Amino acid sequence: MTTRDTTGDAVSEHSDRSEHERMKNVRPPEWENPVPASRYDFVIVGAGSTGLAAAHAAVARGAKVALVERNLLGGTSLNIGCVPSKAIIRASRVCAEISNAERYGVYVPPGARVDFSELMKRMRSVRARISRVDSARELAARGVDVFFDEARFTERDSLSVGDATLRFKRALIATGARPDTPAIPGLAESGFLTNENLFELTLLPRRLLVIGGGPFGCEMAQAFCRLGVHTTIVQNVPMFLPGEERDAAQILSDAFARDGLAVRLDTMAVSVRRDGTEKVVDLVREDTRETIVVDAILTGTGRLPNVDGLNLEAAGVAYDTTRGVHVDDFLRTANPRIYAAGDACLEYKFSDTAEASAHIAVSNALFRGRKRLSALTVPWCTYTDPEIAHVGLGVREARERGIDIATFTVPMHDVDRAIVDSETTGFVKIHVMERTDRILGATIVGSHAGEMISEITLAIVAGVGLEQLASVMHPYPTESGGIRQAADAFVLARHRAAGGAR
d(CA 344, CA 86): 23
Segment interacting with other proteins (CB under 8 A) among 105-113, 120-128, 183-191, 396-404 = 396-404
145 CB-near residues (< 8 Å, 6+ apart):
34, 36, 37, 40, 65, 66, 67
| Least distance CB 239 / other proteins (angstroms) | 9
Segment interacting with other proteins (CB under 8 A) among 15-23, 152-160, 362-370, 395-403 = 395-403
The SS3 assignment for 178 reads: strand
**Choice between 370 and 495, CB closer to other proteins:** 495
CA angle 84, 225, 277 (to 5 degrees): 90
The SS3 assignment for 179 reads: strand
- Omega before 379 within 30 of 0, i.e. cis: no
- Omega before 182 within 30 of 0, i.e. cis: no
| Least distance CB 273 / other proteins (angstroms) | 23
| Least distance CB 404 / other proteins (angstroms) | 6
Interface residue with other proteins among 11, 251, 269, 362 (CB under 8 A) is: 251
Segment 283 to 302, residues that bind other proteins, using CB under 8 A: 286-288
| Least distance CB 497 / other proteins (angstroms) | 9
Interface residue with other proteins among 19, 138, 196, 247 (CB under 8 A) is: 247
| Binding status of residue 409 toward other proteins by CB under 8 A | yes
CA nearest to 319, candidates 333, 330, 337: 333
**Residue 491 CA to its chain's centroid (Å):** 35
| Least distance CB 247 / other proteins (angstroms) | 6
Contact 223, 89 (CB under 8 A): yes
Interface residue with other proteins among 266, 308, 313, 320 (CB under 8 A) is: 266
Rounded to 5 degrees, φ, ψ at 448 are -125, 35
424 CB-near residues (< 8 Å, 6+ apart):
411, 412, 413, 415, 418
Interface residue with other proteins among 414, 416, 451, 467 (CB under 8 A) is: 414
Segment 426 to 445, residues that bind other proteins, using CB under 8 A: 427, 429, 434
Segment interacting with other proteins (CB under 8 A) among 16-24, 104-112, 334-342, 403-411 = 403-411
d(CA 147, CA 35): 10
Segment 483 to 502, residues that bind other proteins, using CB under 8 A: 489-490, 492-493, 501-502
d(CA 487, CA 489): 5
Interface residue with other proteins among 373, 408, 439, 484 (CB under 8 A) is: 408
Residue 355 burial (CB count, 10 A): 20
- Residues near other proteins (CB under 8 A): 237-238, 246-247, 250-251, 254, 258, 266, 286-288, 395-396, 399-400, 404-409, 411, 413-414, 424, 427, 429, 434, 489-490, 492-493, 501-502
